[in-house]
Amino acid sequence: MIVPSTGLAFSALLRNKMRSALTMLGIIIGVGAVVMMQSMGGGATAYVSEAISGLGSNMLFVIPGTQRGMGQLTTGVPLFTMGDLDAIRHLARDVALVTPAGSRVERVVYGGRNRSSAVGGVGPEYFEIRSWGVTSGRLYTQEDERQGGSVCLIGQTIVDDIFLSRSPLGKDLRVRDKTCRVIGVLESKGAAVGTDQDDTVFMPYSTFTRRLVGSDRTATILAAAVSTDRIDEAKEEMIEILRRRRHIAPGDDDNFSVRDPRDIQAVLQSVMGMLTTLLAGVAAVSLVVGGIGIMNIMLVSVTERTREIGVRLAIGARSRDILTQFLVEATTLSAVGGGIGIVFGLVGAWAVARGLHVPFVIPGISMPVAFAVSVLVGIAFGVWPARKAARLHPLEALRFE
């Protein structure tokens, strides 16, 4: 009975194309949203994981304040001093590399061209921690750092835009009202979500603080453990040293945080978890609304086709044949809607992934789940109209005007 019913259901739905399309809209939106968000979430996770592994798996960073819940930082806590850096450098045995890191946006000028770029002040260790090299020229050295030399490294975007793709080596780049000599061009890192990692200038931290900031206190310390499996020990040592230097009494909370990429991943996972829950709610509401739409249209259809039901009963259809027919029709509506929703969701996610330069991920498990749920919605909301049809009295249905 199911097979002829499906064919029948399709022809019944094709007879009212516009109505069927509008009825399916709720399901299409619900399923489309789920598939799209799952794909985008997967893409974002893949992207961030890749970015984190690019940071180096034994990397640590220290920021003042502690995170309270989601993204809320304590304010009014002191920054770190160069003394803190030296203490970590000399006393923490499991910390291999450590550097202060500062950043601000400045106007950079060469020739007649200028742009606003991120200017970073970091020690030479920074490039070792991030395993970041140059494509031409050289990185700066501890000697440059000690002397506060007016040297800088620039990203490919600056080469292309300010130097019009000609070699910038040995040229003097103006950063705000100071100049620095370009000694190297950094390897291209590509664009991240919203930011171009190649639109950047790096100079020694001492140069940065003396010439651009005026204070050598830093809000970020970047460090690398001697190896990935010593990361927890390195963390402990840094916490102990910083607590002592910041005069935190035993039992009091830290007024700084030491984080590693696993923490970022954990935060990311909790954000993704929340998004997924939120999305499941939106999808559930949309599917229920879609289901009610299907129920409504099926009730209308049962009324419109009362005579047809009467004829079918008269020529030998049993109640359960009529029930099956309308149930299959409702389910066909929701299943086709679910299928269209999956396609729309994938296309939407693909477009967004392309636009934001993040990987496009096909959300494996959520597609069959979304499809199965839309089929279930069709059955659940189709039962009542179908029962109404199946319970019609043959004679009354035949005489219905």
Q: Which position among 164, 284, 314, 347 is part of the footprint of another protein (CB under 8 A)?
A: 314
Q: Rounded to a whole number, what is the distance in angstroms from the first to the last CA of the chain?
A: 28
Q: How far is the CB of 321 from another protein (least distance, A)?
A: 6
Q: Which residues are CB-contacts of 229 (< 8 A; sequence separation ≥ 6)?
A: none
Q: Which position among 312, 333, 337, 349 is part of the footprint of another protein (CB under 8 A)?
A: 312
Unique residue bearing structure tokens 């550097």:
99
Q: Does 394 bind another protein (CB under 8 A)?
A: yes
> Tokens in use for 326?
């309308």
| Residue 86 or 396 with smaller CB distance to another protein | 396
Structural contact between residues 91 and 104, judged by C-beta atoms closer than 8 angstroms: no
Positions 12 through 31 that interact with another protein (CB under 8 A)? 15
Q: Which position among 233, 321, 352, 379 is part of the footprint of another protein (CB under 8 A)?
A: 321
Q: How far is the CB of 306 from another protein (least distance, A)?
A: 12
Q: Does 300 bind another protein (CB under 8 A)?
A: no
Q: What is the 3-state secondary structure (H, E, C) of 334-356?
A: HHHHHHHHHHHHHHHHHHHHHHH
Q: Does 309 bind another protein (CB under 8 A)?
A: no
Interface mask (CB under 8 A) for another protein, residues 40-59, using x and -? Answer: --------------------
| Residue 29 or 317 with smaller CB distance to another protein | 317
Q: Does 133 bind another protein (CB under 8 A)?
A: no
Q: Does 303 bind another protein (CB under 8 A)?
A: no
Q: How far is the CB of 311 from another protein (least distance, A)?
A: 5
Structural contact between residues 94 and 215, judged by C-beta atoms closer than 8 angstroms: no
Q: How far is the CB of 4 from another protein (least distance, A)?
A: 5
Q: Which residues pair with 68 in a beta bridge?
A: 72
Q: How far is the CB of 389 from another protein (least distance, A)?
A: 14
Unique residue bearing structure tokens 């991120």:
118
Q: Which position among 252, 315, 355, 365 is part of the footprint of another protein (CB under 8 A)?
A: 315
To 10 degrees, what angle do helices 261-304 and 306-314 make?
Answer: 70
Q: Residues touching another protein: how many (CB under 8 A)? A: 21
Q: Which residues pair with 136 in a beta bridge?
A: 185
| Residue 384 or 400 with smaller CB distance to another protein | 400
> Tokens in use for 372?
């199965």
What DSSP assignment string belongs to 9-73? HHHHHHHTHHHHHHHHHHHHHHHHHHHHHHHHHHHHHHHHHHHHHHH-TTEEEEEES-EETTTEE
Q: How far is CA 229 from CA 62, 127, 236, 265, 266, in A?
A: 19, 21, 13, 17, 18
Q: Does 70 bind another protein (CB under 8 A)?
A: no
| Residue 28 or 390 with smaller CB distance to another protein | 390
Query: Which window, 20-28, 147-155, 202-210, 302-310, contacts another protein (CB under 8 A)?
Result: 302-310
Chain contacts with another protein (rule: CB under 8 A): 4, 11, 15, 307-308, 310-321, 393-395, 398
